[in-house]
Amino acid sequence: MNTRLATKTKAAIIAAAISLLALTIGIIWMMTPHGSSNDSAASKQPAKAPVSEHVLDKRSVTKLDNAVQDAVELNRESFRASFNARPSYQTDETGKRKTMAILDTDSSPWDAGTYQLTVYCMGSGTLNASFSIGEQYEDCTVSCTDDIAQETLTIRTEGASEGQVSIVPSEDSVSEIAYWINHPNN
| pTM of this structure | 0.70
Q: What is the mean pLDDT of residues 129-144?
A: 97
Give dist(CA 92, CA 114) in Å, integer.
Answer: 40
166 located within any domain: yes
46 located within any domain: no
Q: What is the per-residue burial (b if ≥16 Cβ within 10 Å, else e) of 133-150?
A: beebebeeebebeeebbb
User: Is residue 42 classed as helix, strand or coil in its secondary structure?
Assistant: helix
Domain that holds residue 24: 2-32
107-118 tens-digit pLDDT: 999 999 999 999
Query: Which pLDDT score, from 0 to 100, does residue 51 have?
Result: 39
43 located within any domain: no
Residue type, 29: W
38 located within any domain: no
How many structural domains comprise the chain?
2
58 located within any domain: yes
* CATH for 103: 2.60.120
56-88 tens-digit pLDDT: 999 999 999 999 999 999 988 898 999 999 999
Cβ 167 vs Cβ 117: under 8 Å:
no
Give dist(CA 46, CA 85) in Å, integer.
Answer: 12
Give CA separation, 102 vs 46, 76, 98, 169, 184, in Å: 8, 24, 13, 9, 24
